[in-house]
Structure 1
Amino acid sequence: MSQLRDPAHRVSPRARTLWQLEAAAEATFTIAVGVVAALFWLPGGALRWALVGLLVLVCAGLATIVPLWRYQVHRWEVSPTAVYTQRGWWARERRIAPMSRVQTVDFAQGPLARLFGLATVTVTTASAAGPLQIDGLDQAVALSLVDELTRKADLVEGDAT
């Protein structure tokens, strides 16, 4: 029995930096809320500051490690007959969608992603599992991928249902 291999292409290395920045912003917000909560709802003393310190350590660790882990996992590939994605950091998800099931191909770029020259391609399929999403692509790669997938899906007979 053969094992399913990882898709061939990694996302852009700049995605690590973007994900680290996003994770740092989330961690900062979480720490700020934790400090305010500790000041108003926890009794004073060493326990309060020990819990705040633990929160800071956990948030800093997650903001540092998760984007790197996510970069190692996120991959994608397009063959003549299918789109193959792998994503996740805690729970890994591998999805393969035949071209005959592709309904729409979308390009999205938030303001922060635009600053980093990155984009997301979303492939909507006739599947109850939802769309396939490839985050952290170089903008030029994403635009080329949208064109390629649109052409390939258009060549397949049927109505993608």
Structure 2
Amino acid sequence: MTAVSSPVREPAWSLPRSAIGLWLTESLISVLMMGVGLGIFLIWVPADSGGPVPVLRWLVPIAVALYAVVALAVRPWFKHRTYRWEVTGEVAYTRTGWLSQTWTLVPISRIQTVDVTRGLLQQMFGLATVAVFTASSQGTVRIWHLEHGMAQRVADDLAARAERTRDQAT
């Protein structure tokens, strides 16, 4: 079995800028859902009741507003700066996460399947996700939100290389 060395540098490729639009849309949907929940909370919780309720009537809207600011004005751009990916001759790997970062590496020789998926919002933004699967449950790498054509080329390339590697091993 060939040892695969861990990359000593950042993955070469960032995601397309249209991923920011997708993340903004996802954040907007979640902020709107929280706003609906807040509205229901404010309608159903009486303002003049005793106990902690009066404090919650101003604390909950402040928390929702802070979440909205972070979700809409901060998170999409931090995610775009930190999410990176690369496929080398030996390994496909990603770095994900904007608060807690995760590196996922999959050796080409371990690839069993490569899928391209497109959710509804991804389709709206012309994006797709490449999922590279191995036999290990921990060995899957997902390259999120690539331009659809690029995702298809990456998937085709990885599948062909994995097939060549399997053919050489037998």
Structures share fold, TM-score greater than 0.5: yes
- State how many pairs are aligned: 158
Matched with 1:12 is: 16
Shift of residue 3 of structure 1? 8.0
**1:115 matches 2:93:** no
Structure 2 distance, partners of 1:3, 1:146, is 21
| Percent identity between the two aligned chains | 30
Structure 1 distance, partners of 2:137, 2:116, is 21
Q: Deviations over 1:1-46 (max 9, x none)?
A: x983210001111001111111111111012112212331363597
Structure 2 distance, partners of 1:81, 1:132, is 14
Matched with 2:102 is: 93
Divergent runs of 4+, >6 A = none
Structure 2 distance, partners of 1:41, 1:4, is 55
Q: Deviations over 1:70-110 (max 9, x none)?
A: 11111110111110111112221101110111111000111
Structure 2 distance, partners of 1:51, 1:128, is 39
Q: Secondary structure at the match of 2:156?
A: helix
Shift of residue 130 of structure 1? 4.6
Structure 2 distance, partners of 1:11, 1:154, is 27
Matched with 1:22 is: 26
Q: CA RMSD in A?
A: 2.3
Structure 1 distance, partners of 2:86, 2:137, is 21
Structure 2 distance, partners of 1:34, 1:105, is 42
Structure 1 distance, partners of 2:111, 2:40, is 47
CA contact (8 A) 1:31 1:59 kept: no
Q: Secondary structure at the match of 1:147?
A: helix
Matched with 2:37 is: 33
Superposition TM-score, scaled by structure 2 size:
0.83
Superposition TM-score, scaled by structure 1 size:
0.87
**1:134 matches 2:138:** no
* Structure 2 gaps, min length 5: 1-5
* Structure 1 gaps, min length 5: none
Matched with 1:143 is: 152
Q: Secondary structure at the match of 2:47?
A: coil
Q: Which of 52-61 and 22-31 deviates more?
A: 52-61
Shift of residue 49 of structure 1? 3.5
